[in-house]
Chains A and B, each alone.
Chain A
Amino acid sequence: MPTDKTDGAGAPDLSKQSGAAVQTGPDFDGNGRPRIAFEDVSKQFGKNVVLNDLNFNVAKGERVTLIGPSGSGKTTILRLLMTLEELSGGFIYVDGDPLTHRKNDAGKRVAMKPKEISVIRKRIGMVFQQFNLFPNMSVIENITEAPIHVLGQSKDEAREKAKKLLDQVGLGDRAEEHPTRLSGGQQQRVAIARALAMEPEILLLDEVTSALDPELVGDVLGVLRDVANSTDITMLLVTHEMQFARDVSHRVMMFDAGHIIEEAEPDAMFSDPQHERTKKFLQAIL
């Protein structure tokens, strides 16, 4: 558990173990199981190998930013976790439970059934670059839809929670509006509320401000800061907003060609990068 939820300085203890201890599957460490574990994860699209034998852990409550040039595999990692892409090899564990593939008794890698996958997947939520609000529903319906039909909440309960979430993202007065009448920044805040309504343990943020006009970015990041400070949701972020990454994350991982080439606490990473590739990348974007 994260000991410090507010200032983001004290990274949870497990954050330093990435890549090392993940050998034997779910139950591999004495201090409680990590929220997320990637074990020998490979992903290729046709002949294009995006990830190759990737190993890392994310602790409960930890907020990790993935940086790196485009094509380095950051977004693929989020999409694999959300089960939007199929794993080519290896395993992903959430709280020690396999997500899409597991080892059977003979130690062979087997794909899990869609029903089994959906149980674990409910612990994960995602916010997309393009918001993806449902155009056939009002703002509040966008938020209540999955809680009602997936979690089985009553309509009243779901609406009450959705209203609180809308207040939290500063859109309490837009509940009955049609999504197309909202600005990009407002749509993205609704999308964040929609993901939070599912009460995920893990929130994946895939370049959530990249499609926004510059003046709208601040509101969205402000909402995410609130979420980071007021909950212990584990977050994995892909972003180009380095100041934001520095403020909210416990750890930054630098990717290149599908490998973690450097990882550190944000202050160390941004002020004193070790790897040549990281230095170049940070120089180019800062």
Chain B
Amino acid sequence: MPDLSSIAPAGVVETLQDHWHTLLDGLKVTLELSVFGGAVAFVVAVVLGLAAISRLAVVRTVSRIIVEFFRGTSLVVQLFVLVYVLPQATSVGSHPLLFCVIALGLNYGAYGSEVVRGSLNAVPPGQWETTTALSMSWLTKIRRVIWPQAWALMLPGLNNLMVMLVKGTAIALFIGLPDLTSVGDDLRKSGVDAWTVYGISFVLYYLAALAFSAFLRHLEVRAQRRLGIRPSKVKTAQATAEAVA
């Protein structure tokens, strides 16, 4: 990579040449945690968000308690409980990657449920009333009318959370998973220049976050278009930048 060497500090090119395999493995773990953690978080957010607007007080209360618990306690402690307490107390065995995905999913899902709830509530009351006037069942009104509108509203908030989740996957370090942060740290310990290692990490995290954010913004644009809103390209770029920042 001759061009890169002329602009980048010499150590960066060398480090990349020597350790790209290690770094790539770390990035892979980070991306796995992001994708699966994000997927679990999304499911949790939708279920808890819908439960939060249920007609049944019991369902609302249960949702509230779960959300408060996972938002109000430390993600790291939640992770430790899963990794160190659960295998002792039960016979589920030890699955660090899976436990990390679950911890991320529950924690960010709890935050996400607030975004989902807020977006569902932000769909104008007239839309809800019309679904009642047309005698739609709960499932039909949510699936066909309310959700497509709430979806466009919730994507900016979910986008923010997704970017935070990508960066938050670094807690994997605490339980010894070889993610990007972890392998970077190991490289530093093995004598590679700290600035170089962390600089590379910064860039890789940023690019990963950017990719997820751009994808979600793409979904947002599509959802808006279906509602007859024409999003501008400038706004798209701006929203992506804001989400990553």
Question: Are A132 and B135 in contact, CB atoms less than 8 angstroms apart?
Answer: no
Docked CA distance A260–B126 (Å) = 28
- List CB contacts (< 8 Å) of B115-144 with chain A: 124, 126-127, 129-130, 132-137, 140, 144
Q: Is the CB of B133 within 8 A of A178?
A: no
> Pick the contact of A128 from B126, B135, B137 — CB < 8 Å?
B126
- B228 touches which one: A132, A135, A145, A198 (CB < 8 A)? A135
Cβ of A84 within 8 Å of any chain B Cβ, yes or no, is: yes
Q: Does B237 contact A (CB under 8 A)?
A: no
For A181, give the chain B residue with the smallest CB separation. Answer: B228
Pair A134/B127 contact, Cβ less than 8 Å? yes
Separation of A125 and B145 alpha carbons in the complex (Å): 18
Instruction: Return chain B residues, CB-CB under 8 Å to A124.
Output: 133
State whether the Cβ of B227 lies closer than 8 Å to any Cβ in chain A. Answer: yes
A274 at the interface (CB under 8 A from B): no
Chain A residues within 8 Å of B135, by CB: 118, 121-122, 146, 150, 198
B86 to chain A, nearest CB (A): 40
> B124 — which chain A residues lie within 8 A by C-beta?
132
CA distance A109 to B145 in the complex (A): 34
A130: Cβ under 8 A from any B Cβ: yes
At the interface, yes or no: A136 with Cβ under 8 Å from chain B? yes
A180 interface residue (CB < 8 Å to B)? yes
Quick one: which of A77-100 are within 8 Å of B by CB?
A: 82-84
Chain A hits for B226, CB < 8 A: 136
A194 interface residue, CB < 8 Å from B?
yes
| Chain A residues within 8 Å of B168, by CB | none
Within 8 A of A (CB), among B129-177: 129-130, 132-137, 140, 144-145, 148-149
Question: Which A residues lie at the B interface, using CB under 8 A?
Answer: 82-84, 118, 121-122, 124-126, 128, 130, 132, 134-136, 145-146, 149-150, 178-181, 194-195, 198
A-B CB proximity, top 6 nearest:
A146-B134, A180-B228, A136-B148, A132-B126, A132-B130, A126-B133
Q: Give 21 A-B contacts (CB < 8 Å), ordered by A residue.
A: A82-B133, A84-B133, A121-B135, A122-B135, A125-B134, A126-B133, A128-B130, A128-B133, A132-B124, A135-B228, A136-B148, A149-B136, A149-B140, A149-B144, A150-B134, A150-B137, A150-B140, A178-B228, A180-B228, A195-B133, A198-B134
